[in-house]
């Protein structure tokens, strides 16, 4: 038998590691199957008596929306339901703690007996230590309760009472000491916490700054990349424009050369024409013609003078001649003189014309010379223009050849104000280096911030340990005080029996904990059944999960599912023997069923097989709706004493419920559920008498029949009751049995 002092010190030490409790490898308790609802059975719906309407009920009186005349409602004599065969019991067995699966003894489809090994699991050191801690605590708890039972059976002596009081005094001193240690630990933790919180805040600010700097560097990189792209595009456009301009200029220059050559040819022709014209002008054709005319006229005057001499001579000679001869001679002289006068006048005219011709010829020569000089100037200008055009063509050809040479287009096409592509690319590389540097900086600051965050929680560990020690000390004090009370007051037979049952339960728990606190433990079958799934593999590592989840499956193994709290299922087991049928019953029919009610079950897949079952559970909430389904149905479990030959889990089943008549003629009085109210904890309806006065009338309810509910007492056929619309104001809900 362990002494109380030993109990106190061992319990205090073990409580410090109580956070590890629960990590042992213990099969999850088997649960009845199938579960038809998350809540308790609603079997009371079919029992007679004062049944208060389910759900919350308003305590205020609403204005009735309509009235209802109470009348009998026919009941079906039987009810036909459809369901499926399901196992009566299943178990999802899980591995708790962390370790390695060393052996799997079963496979899906294998039948096993209760206690048969299923999976062998090797705990790691941490889980083994936790399991041993729990086993030790369970053993100590069992021994403590066993000692209490022994004391209760044997009775307490004065020395025992005195010793127990001394133990209590030591417990009080220990509790005060631990309490002081907790206060000291809290003070130290608060100071450390404040310092580390400040460090964490500073680290968080550095992280925020690093994030801003990284974002700025990323923005700068994006801008640099955009600028480089624009610079490259601008350079390409400038190069294309320059090449196009050079090509156009070269075309224009070649055209100018061709035009200049044509101009030279034209100017040369004009020079030639002017030269010929000058040559002709220098011949002075007008003067020569005029001189010839003067000479010819002078010759004619000379002839006239000679003729005058001859006529004068003749006239003189005719002085001795006849008058006729003299007259003829005179006439001849006069005629000659007249001719001389006319020719003299003509000579004068010709000489005047000669002077004019000479002036005209001089002017023609000068004009022809001027034309020649102008033509020569035009030729020189045309030749100069041709040379300039040829020089420009040569220059543009050299520029075009230079522009097509790699490495020269960027410089030649660069326009003032545009960014050099090479400089832009260099800026991109620099921005990329800045982003990489800021990324590393952010990672470093985040690591520092995480370290600071981890450090913040550490100071509370000592406080938590001190709190656990204080709880253990106080628990020990309370236990010892309770023991003293037992020693001084004694125990009744009922208390002794209760304590004996408690000791037996604690002994069983201690044995189970001791079995689980082994380096290698076995997961065993809790009942006879068939393995349906195995969710672990040999060699697979199981690691604990945070929070309420005890273990998870790692690696590449396929899991067999998870429990409702997220733990992976190692083995799923279905019980042998008894089975059940699960059916969804419409809300209008579920009220006619009671737990324990007998039903007949047949199986369409196996002809000629019929078995009598019992309603085992009626769900308190409806089954979830699927798709566009609008009806409301409640899951109902039908327990079968045995499964006929050939019937398998999952097969369809037909359920026949007979003997449903209530009252004479197979009918019963009902009222709408919306007519019910709760007043001072009593279910009432508002009846309206022939004078229009309303009264709250208590009623005794029976079964729920769809939207109506059976009334056993309180109303009679023909009574008028008020029906209320469900309130829409917050805090009010319509009474729903």
As a three-state string, the secondary structure of 80-113 is EEEEEEEECEEEEECCCCCEEEEEECCCCCCEEC
Handedness of CA 40, 46, 47, 53 (dihedral sign): positive
Listing DSSP states for 287-352 in one string gives HHHHHHHHHHHHHHHHHHHHHHHHHHHHHHHGGGS-HHHHHHHHHHHHHHHHHHHHHHHHHHHHHH
CA distance 122 to 253: 96
Strands 117-123 and 520-524, sheet pairing:
antiparallel
Token pair recorded at residue 90 = 């299943």
Taking residues 378-401, what's their average pLDDT? 86
E strand or H helix at 118: strand 117-123
pLDDT at 666: 63
E strand or H helix at 483: helix 459-489
CA-based radius of gyration for the chain: 66
Strands 71-74 and 667-672, sheet pairing:
antiparallel
CA distance 328 to 324: 6
Higher pLDDT, 287 or 136: 136
Residue 62 has pLDDT above 80, yes or no: no
- Between vectors from CA 170 to CA 169 and to CA 176, what angle results, nearest 5°? 90
Q: Helix, strand, or coil here: 358?
A: helix
Angle between helix 158-282 and 421-457 (nearest 10): 170
CA distance 401 to 392: 14
pLDDT at 198: 81
pLDDT at 556: 29
Tens-place pLDDT, residues 313-339: 887 887 777 878 778 888 888 888 888
Higher pLDDT, 411 or 643: 643
pLDDT at 685: 93
User: For all residues of the chain together, what is the average pLDDT?
Assistant: 77
Q: For residue 47, name the pLDDT band (cuts at 50, 70, 90).
A: very low
Q: Helix, strand, or coil here: 517?
A: coil
CA distance 376 to 2: 144
Tens-place pLDDT, residues 173-216: 988 888 888 888 888 878 877 877 787 788 888 888 888 888 88
pLDDT at 654: 94
pLDDT at 77: 67
Residue 129 has pLDDT above 80, yes or no: yes
| Domains of the chain, start order | 4-32+89-155+460-574 (no CATH), 37-75+661-737 (2.40.420.20), 225-451 (1.10.287), 577-660 (2.40.30.170)
Closest alpha carbon to 29 in 567, 438, 396: 567
Largest Cα–Cα separation, the chain: 232
Which phi and psi angles does 415 have, rounded to 5°?
-105, 145
- Between vectors from CA 657 to CA 651 and to CA 660, what angle results, nearest 5°? 165
Taking residues 274-278, what's their average pLDDT? 84
Q: For residue 718, name the pLDDT band (cuts at 50, 70, 90).
A: very high
Tens-place pLDDT, residues 231-258: 888 888 888 887 888 888 888 889 988 9
CA distance 473 to 174: 7
- Between vectors from CA 528 to CA 527 and to CA 531, what angle results, nearest 5°? 100
Residue 601 has pLDDT above 90, yes or no: yes
Q: For residue 89, name the pLDDT band (cuts at 50, 70, 90).
A: confident
Top-confidence range, 41-50, 119-128, 276-285, 652-661: 119-128
Token pair recorded at residue 707 = 């939207």
Tens-place pLDDT, residues 417-474: 566 778 888 888 988 888 999 899 889 888 887 877 666 556 666 777 777 888 888 8
């Amino acid at each position: 038998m362990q002494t109380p002092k030993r109990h106190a010190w061992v319990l205090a030490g073990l409580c410090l590691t109580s956070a590890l409790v629960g990590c042992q490898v213990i099969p999850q308790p088997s649960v009845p199957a199938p579960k038809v609802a998350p809540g308790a059975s609603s079997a009371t719906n079919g029992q007679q008596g004062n049944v208060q309407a389910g759900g919350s009920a308003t305590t205020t009186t609403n204005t009735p929306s309509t009235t209802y005349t109470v009348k009998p409602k026919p009941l079906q004599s039987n009810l036909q339901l459809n369901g499926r065969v399901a196992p009566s019991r299943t178990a999802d067995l899980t591995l708790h703690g962390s370790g390695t699966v060393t052996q799997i003894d079963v496979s899906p489809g294998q039948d096993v007996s209760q206690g048969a090994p299923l999976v062998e699991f090797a705990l790691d050191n941490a889980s083994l230590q936790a399991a041993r801690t729990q086993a030790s605590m369970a053993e100590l708890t069992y021994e403590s309760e066993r000692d209490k039972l022994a004391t209760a059976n044997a009775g307490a002596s004065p020395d025992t009472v005195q010793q127990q009081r001394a133990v209590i005094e030591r417990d009080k001193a220990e509790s005060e000491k631990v309490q002081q240690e907790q206060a000291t630990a809290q003070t130290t933790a608060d100071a450390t916490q404040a310092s580390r919180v400040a460090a964490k805040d500073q680290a968080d600010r550095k992280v925020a700054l690093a994030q801003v700097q990284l974002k700025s560097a990323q923005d700068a990189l994006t801008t640099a990349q955009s600028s480089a792209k624009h610079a490259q595009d601008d350079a390409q456009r400038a190069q294309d424009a320059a090449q196009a301009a050079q090509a156009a200029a070269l075309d224009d220059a070649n055209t100018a050369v061709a035009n200049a050559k044509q101009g030279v040819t034209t100017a040369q022709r004009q020079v030639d024409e002017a030269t010929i014209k000058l040559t002709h002008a220098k011949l002075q054709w007008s003067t020569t013609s005029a001189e010839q005319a003067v000479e010819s006229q002078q010759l004619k005057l000379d002839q006239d003078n000679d003729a005058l001499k001859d006529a004068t001579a003749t006239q003189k000679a005719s002085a001795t001649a006849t008058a006729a001869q003299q007259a003829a001679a005179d006439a001849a002289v006069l005629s000659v003189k007249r001719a001389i006068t006319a020719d003299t006048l003509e000579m004068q005219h010709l000489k005047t014309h000669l002077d004019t011709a000479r002036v005209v010829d001089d002017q023609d020569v000068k004009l022809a010379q001027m034309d020649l000089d102008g033509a020569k100037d035009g030729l020189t200008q045309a030749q100069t223009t041709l040379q300039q055009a040829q020089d420009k063509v040569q220059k543009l050809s050299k520029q075009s050849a230079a522009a097509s040479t790699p490495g020269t287009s960027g410089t030649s096409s660069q326009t003032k104000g545009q960014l050099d592509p090479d400089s832009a690319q260099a800026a991109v590389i620099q921005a990329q280096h800045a982003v990489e540097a800021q990324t590393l900086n952010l990672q470093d600051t985040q690591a520092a911030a995480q370290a600071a965050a981890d450090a913040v929680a550490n100071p509370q560990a000592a406080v938590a340990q001190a709190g656990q020690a204080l709880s253990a000390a106080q628990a020990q004090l309370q236990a010892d005080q309770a023991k003293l009370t037992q020693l001084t007051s004694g125990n009744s037979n009922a208390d002794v029996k209760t304590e004996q049952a408690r000791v037996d339960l604690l002994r069983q728990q201690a044995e189970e904990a001791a079995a689980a606190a082994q380096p290698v433990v076995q997961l065993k079958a809790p009942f006879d059944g068939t393995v349906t799934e195995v969710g672990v593999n040999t060699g697979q590592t199981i690691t604990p999960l945070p929070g309420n989840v005890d273990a998870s499956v790692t690696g590449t193994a396929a899991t067999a599912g998870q429990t409702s709290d997220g733990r992976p299922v190692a083995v799923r087991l279905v019980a042998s023997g008894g089975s059940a049928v699960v059916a969804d019953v419409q809300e209008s029919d579920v009220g006619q069923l009671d737990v324990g009610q007998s039903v007949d079950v047949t199986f369409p897949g196996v002809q000629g097989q019929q078995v009598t079952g019992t309603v085992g559970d009626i769900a308190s909430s409806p089954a979830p709706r699927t798709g566009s389904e609008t009806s409301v149905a409640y899951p109902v479990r039908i327990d079968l004493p045995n499964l006929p030959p050939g019937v398998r889990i999952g097969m369809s089943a037909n359920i026949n419920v007979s003997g449903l008549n209530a009252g004479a003629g197979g009918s019963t009085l009902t009222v709408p559920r919306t007519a019910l109210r709760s007043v001072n904890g009593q279910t009432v309806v508002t009846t309206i008498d022939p004078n229009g006065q309303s009264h709250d009338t208590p009623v005794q309810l029976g079964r729920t029949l769809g939207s109506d509910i059976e009334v056993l007492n309180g109303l009679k056929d023909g009574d008028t009751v008020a029906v209320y619309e469900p309130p829409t104001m917050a805090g009010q809900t319509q009474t729903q049995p």
